[in-house]
Amino acid sequence: MKQLYIARSSAVASRVLDGEIVIMSATDSTLFSLSEVATVIWQAADGHTPLSEIVRGRICAEFDVAPDAAYRDAEAFIDDLARHGILRVSSEPIDGIEPGVSASRLGAARPA
Partner 1 sequence: MGVLSSTSLLDRLPAEYARGGVTLEIGGIPIFLRSGDAEFCRMIEDRYAGFVNPFASAEYEFEIDLNPPSEPSDEDARVSKHGDVWFFDRGDFHAEWDARTRRGWVRQAPNPYAIDTVLRIVHSLVLAEEGGFLLHAASAVRSGQSFVFTGISGAGKTTMSRLAPADVAVLTDEISYIRRRADGYRAYGTPFAGELARVGENISAPFGGLYFLEKGPANRIEPIDDRRAARALLRNILFFSHDERLVKRVFDSAFEFVSNVATGRLIFTPDERAWRLVG
Q: List interacting residues with partner 1 (CB under 8 A).
A: 10-11, 13, 15, 17-18, 20, 22, 24, 26-29, 31, 33, 105, 108-111
**Strand 20-25 and strand 12-17: pairing?**
antiparallel
Minimum CB distance to partner 1, residue 29 (Å): 6
β-sheet bridge partners, residue 6:
89
Q: Which is closer to partner 1, CB of 61 or CB of 109?
A: 109
| 95 Ramachandran zone, left/alpha/beta (phi>0; psi -120 to 50) | beta
Q: Which is closer to partner 1, CB of 27 or CB of 90?
A: 27
